Structure 1
Amino acid sequence: MNTDITTHTFHDKPVRIHMDGEMVEYCARDIATALGYTNTNDAISRHCRGVVKRYPIADTLGRPQEAGFIGEGDVYRLIVSSQLPAAVEFEHWLFDEVLPSIRKHGGYLVGQEHMSPEEMVAASMRYLESKIAEQKRQLDAQKPKVALAEAIGNSTSTILIGELAKILTQNGAHNLGTRRLFERLRADGYLCRQHGEMWNLPTQRAMDMGLFEVIKRPVAMPDGSVRVTRTTKVTGRGQEYFINRYITKEN
Structure 2
Amino acid sequence: MNQIIKINTNERGEVNVSARELYDALEVRKSYRFNQWFDTNAKQLIEDEDYTSVDVTTEVKNNGGTQLRKLQDYTLTVDAAKQIAMMSGTEKGKQVRMYFIEVEKQWNSPELMLSRSLQYANSKLIGYESQIAELTPKAEMHDVFIEKGQAIGIREASKELNVKQNNLIDNLMNNGYVYRTKGHHGKLQPIKKYVPKYFVLKSASVNGVEFTPQMLITPQGREFFYKKFYEPDQIEMAL
Specify the TM-score bucket, using the shorter chain as the normaliser. 0.3 to 0.5
Q: TM-score, normalised to structure 2's length?
A: 0.34
Tell which has more relative contact order, 1 or 2 (C-alpha 8 A, sep 6+): 2
Task: Return the TM-score normalized by structure 1.
Answer: 0.33
Larger-gyration structure (1/2):
1
